[in-house]
Structure 1
Amino acid sequence: MKRLLVISLLALLSACSQLPTNIDRAALVDQWVAQEQFRRAHEMLRSLSSDDPQYQALERQQRALPSLIKQFEQKVLREVKGLAAQNRWVEAIARLDEARLQLPPDTVLDHARKTLLAERKAYMAALNLELDLLTARQLPARNAILEKMLAADPDSFWTRWKLYQQRRLGYELADVLLDCVDEAIAEQNLEAANSCLAPVATVAKEAQQQRLSLSQQRLARELQRQPNQLAQQKAKADRLQLQRLKQEYRDMIAAGWWLAAREKMNQLQVHSPKDLEVIKWLGELQQIITTQVELGIQQGQALYSQGFLQQALEVWRNTAELSPDNTVLQAHIQRAERFIEKLQRLDS
């Protein structure tokens, strides 16, 4: 065993003796920067000494590094913002985590991650409230149907149990929505309070009526005290939503996510069909999509003529998502599918 250990140590020393003694540190930093491995470059440049033979080159790199890091951070933040706007939160967080590993510690991306998680939490809370409101509005109609079913067949245990569950759900939603009313009034968000209060009366049980009455009185007093606030808050909320939709649309256009941009444009048209900027953007988007479709057709044709049939088919299929009714694209796709199918039959 000792002899084996000695031999292993000698082999290790021999290997180490063959390592280069003069590493081109400046070239290595350039390589890492090109690969966006800024953490490695930072570590290399952190211990810079004026005695280093490459001091001047390394010192220039050291001065340039913060600017390069800032550009990289801005690029990543744009990507993350676009992903979040598409509700692709998991990908956005993963992109941030990947980028943070490429940077020195304590960068703006560390703060951006916390902000992103908070935004996702707020987004989820808003969706949960939206779901609760939708369910509360639908419950009375659902209960009415179940009551008719129960009247037609009183012995149906399933119908009776289903109606019990629905009513119990309504009572739980009443508590949730009344909490929402209290919080919204405390924050002077009368529009949110009014939205939460509206469906409560149709789902609350008798024991909740007193609390419902108190909430109605509180909201009525606030509306009397500030009669225009509800309308003002609604108008403000509409403006903020329009601004958010527009910013998300611009982010998607900048990132080249044409499908997502088209979906966002549909939302903009529903929200503000007469907005001049939206009308202008719609014309520009239609032109962009037309150009992208033409490029996709040409790219597919080039691949097809070179014998890359599967790649051409994939390009055409992806392009068809932008223009599903394009007859030229569909003809190319069908031709490629037929030819690939023939080749597969010949191979078999």
Structure 2
Amino acid sequence: MRKSSLLLATLLTAGCHTLINLGNQQQKVEEALARDDFATAAAIIEHTGSDHPQYAALQEQYPDIRQASQAYRTRAEHDALALSRDKQWQQAFDLIDSTIAQVVDPTSLQALRESLQAKQAAQLNQLLAERRLAQARALLLQPTLDKTLAQYSDPAARREVTQLEQERKQLIADLNHLGEYYADRQHWQQTRELLDTAHRLAPGEPTPELLSRARSILNNEQQQAKARQNNALQAKAESLMATYQDSGQLKDLLAARAFLNSHRGNDALVQQRARTEQWCRRRFDEEMNTGEALYARGQYREAYRIWKQVQPLYPDNVELNKKLERSQRVLNNLRTLKDS
């Protein structure tokens, strides 16, 4: 009898532990959501088996968690853009990095980080180029300063000569690096100015191949005109793209893409075209998912509005057109029922 009682107690204890473990899933989800950790909450639900007693309840929460994650991610993107406009770059990157770990799908955040890194680099390199050119011009105004200093026996003069040579070498390295940066982006005016200035600081060195290329391109009258046109087109494209990044408005994205499409054959806009198309695809997928979530909740009119609004991005998309037809039929049926 005593052995039977011990066995029963053991089974009951094991059963209690099983129930406690099974019941922890909902609690874990709630704890994750309390700290805005949507990725963990979604992962818990995804890895909860169908035999779990809370499976149905957890599955019911899943769409709302993904929707909340998307809203949280969108707010973070807007805040990061605002920080970048105020030149608070580190705060913007910290916000993006922390949010990436919290949301279900961080793809757009990762793309935004890359975009802001490129934007920061462009602004920083412009400042550095202006500063290095000013330093180089000041040095070039005194071409014989090192020889003049060498005439003095004071150790301070020798130290100044050494420092002057170090400054010259560093300036040459910086100017060449910046020239390569602008050459990669086909900004040949900046490339030539930077590399030419670096070469003037070291006239005894062979002319760099990249400088010769920049000169060849810009010396050709037709290429000069094309370079100016491309620079203007690039500036216009970047301006339109920056407007969309700042506003997040679909009309601004469409304006940027329309401008790029009007210059489809121009290879100077390849990078801008690729980035814009990536944004279009991401925006389209997000709006499609948002409309689907609204439709699943019975918000047919709002779902139709979202899908209709995003249609100009890909007007021939079969899936989107089917969704529009389906939601339109539902709205018509509801209107008929209301009128009858």
After TM superposition, the score normalised by the length of structure 2 is 0.50
| 1:64-107 deviation per Cα after TM superposition (whole angstroms, max 9, x unaligned) | 22222222222222222333343333323322332233245875
Q: Cα deviation per residue 1:230-274 (whole Å; 9 max; x = unaligned)?
A: 4324434543565577567658xxxxxxxxxxxxxxxxxxxxxxx
C-alpha contact (below 8 Å) 2:176/2:194 kept by paired residues: yes
Structure 2 residue identity aligned to 1:84: S
Partner of 2:164: 166
2:226 aligned with 1:226? no
Report the AA paired with residue 42 of structure 1.
A
Determine helix, strand or coil for the equivalent of 1:99.
Answer: helix
Contact 2:188/2:214, CA 8 A, preserved across alignment: no
Q: Does the Cα contact within 8 Å between 2:38 and 2:104 map onto a contact in 1?
A: yes
Q: CA deviation at 1:61?
A: 0.5
C-alpha distance after superposition, 1:91-145 (max 9, x if no partner): 233223322332458755456556655665666555544443232133234x479
Task: Determine if contact 2:192/2:214 at 8 Å carries over to the other structure.
Answer: no
1:169-188 aligned at under 5 Å gives the runs 169-174=167-172, 176-178=174-176, 181=179, 188=186
Give the Cα separation in 1 of the matches to 2:112 and 2:186: 29
Q: Alpha carbon RMSD of aligned pairs, Å?
A: 4.6
Matched length: 233
Structure 2 counterpart SS, 1:87: coil
Deviation (angstroms), 1:147: 7.3
State the partner residue of 2:46: 46
Following superposition of structure 1 onto structure 2, how do residues 62-77 of structure 1 map, counting pairs within 5 Å? 62-77=62-77
Secondary structure class of the residue paired with 1:211: coil
Amino acid at match of 2:46: R
Q: Residues 102, 111 of structure 1: CA spacing in aligned structure 2 closer, same or farther, 3 A cutoff?
A: same
Work out the CA distance in 1 between the residues paired with 2:143 and 2:195: 21
Give the superposition deviation at 1:21.
7.5
Identity across aligned pairs (percent)? 19
In structure 2, the partner of 1:102 is 102
**Partner AA of 2:164 in structure 1:** Q
Confirm or deny: 8 A CA contact 1:82 1:248 kept in the other structure.
no
Q: Does 1:215 align with 2:211?
A: yes
Q: Which letter does structure 2 place at the counterpart of 1:137?
A: R
Q: Note if contact 2:73-2:109 (Cα within 8 Å) is conserved in structure 1.
A: yes
SS of the counterpart of 1:228? helix
**Unaligned ranges ≥5, structure 1:** 1-12, 252-348
**Residue 219 of structure 1: how far off its partner (Å):** 0.6
For residues 117 and 177 of structure 2, what CA distance do their matches in structure 1 show?
24
| CA distance in structure 1 between the partners assigned to 2:179 and 2:139 by the alignment | 19
Q: What do residues 246-303 of structure 1 show as CA deviations (whole Å, max 9, x unaligned)?
A: 567658xxxxxxxxxxxxxxxxxxxxxxxxxxxxxxxxxxxxxxxxxxxxxxxxxxxx
Tell me the residue number matched to 1:60: 60
> Structure 1's 145 and 111: CA in aligned 2 closer, same or farther, altered over 3 A?
same
Cα 1:61–1:154 shift into 2, 3 Å? same
- Residue 207 of structure 1 deviates from its aligned partner by 1.3
Q: Indicate conservation of the 8 Å contact 1:133/1:199, yes or no.
A: yes
Secondary structure of 2:201's partner?
coil
